[in-house]
Amino acid sequence: MNYCSNCGSSELTNQMPEGDNRLRQVCGNCGEIHYRNPKIIAGCLPIWDGKVLLCRRAINPRAGFWNVPAGFLEIGETVEAGAMREVWEEALAKVLNLRLQTVFTFTNYWHVYIQFVGELKDGEFGIGEESTESRLFSEAEIPWDDIAFESSRFAISRYFEDRKLGDFKVHIGSL
């Protein structure tokens, strides 16, 4: 950050505010403390007839790789609504009966993924503008070497593990 978002001053310095335990950017003009916190990414693994719906990314990062439909949560959105929106944007699909499946933290990228599993409505899907392809995969067909992000790999593998056990849980992971 080069300028204070509160007053526009360029007098930002790194200092430890009183009562805090880490360095923060603080405006020398107005005193505003600028916290740098993780962004939430909401996603959903759509399921249909024992298969999972993945989308091939049309955009960077990792264009050309397969991914669970997911993206940044918008202000004013619930996590569930954000996950459903992302499925629509990436796969022109609707999901029902969402259940929390994964919380995955990327500590170096300041991202927290909150991912659900949901039923693909009527088995219908298409290709959204952020995708070049959408496809249903059985477990044996998953292109593991072409999965875009570790968070997606984690969610997909945990889904199939839980399905084998017949016991669906919420999984926590990090990288």
pLDDT tens-place string over residues 119-159: 999 999 999 999 999 999 999 999 999 999 999 999 999 99
Q: Are residues 72 and 151 in the same domain?
A: yes
Q: Are residues 1 and 44 in the same domain?
A: no
Say yes or no to pLDDT of 108 above 90: no
Q: Are residues 63 and 5 in the same domain?
A: no
Per-residue pLDDT tens digits for 42-71: 999 999 999 999 999 999 999 999 999 999
Q: Scanning the structure block, which residue is given the tokens 């399921």? A: 47
Q: Are residues 160 and 79 in the same domain?
A: yes
Q: Are residues 90 and 170 in the same domain?
A: yes
The CATH number assigned to the domain holding 84 equals 3.90.79.10
The reported pLDDT for the residue numbered 60 is 96
Q: Indicate the length of the chain as a whole number.
A: 175
Q: Are residues 64 and 149 in the same domain?
A: yes
Helix (H/G/I), strand (E/B), else coil: 130? coil
Indicate the pTM of the whole model.
0.89
95: containing domain? 39-174
The domain total for the chain is 2
Q: Are residues 43 and 17 in the same domain?
A: no
- Residue 127, token pair as written in the block: 């290709």
Going by pLDDT thresholds of 50, 70 and 90, the confidence category of residue 166 is: very high
Angle ∠(164,42,103) on CA atoms, nearest 5: 50
Say yes or no to pLDDT of 109 above 90: no
Q: Are residues 155 and 120 in the same domain?
A: yes
The CATH number assigned to the domain holding 14 equals 2.20.70.10
The reported pLDDT for the residue numbered 1 is 85
